[in-house]
Amino acid sequence: MSVIYVLLAISITVAIIFFAAFVLSVKKGQYDDAYTPSVRMLFEDELVKESSSDNNQNKSQTD
C-alpha cells in the first residue's frame, strides 16, 4: 500500500514540473506565432479581390 502513495507523490511531482515548464514557456513566448502574420500580408490581396468580386456579383444580381 505504501508503494501507491510513493507512486502517487512522484506522479504529482512530475505533473507539477511539466505544468511549471509549460507556464514558463508560454510566458517567454515560446508558442507565439511570428511566422503567420508576415505571410498573411502576402495573401490579403487575394482575399480582398474575392470579397470585392463577390460584392460586385451580388450588386449585379440585385440590379
* Calpha distance 60→43 (Å, rounded): 26
Grid cell digits, residue 26:
508560454
Q: Which amino acid would we find at residue 27?
A: K
3 pLDDT band, cuts 50/70/90, is very high
pLDDT in tens, 11-63: 999 999 999 999 999 999 888 887 777 777 777 666 556 666 666 666 666 65
- Residue 25's pLDDT is what? 95
Given this model, what pLDDT does residue 23 score? 97
Q: Where do the domains of the chain lie? A: 1-31, 33-63
Confirm whether pTM is higher than 0.75.
no
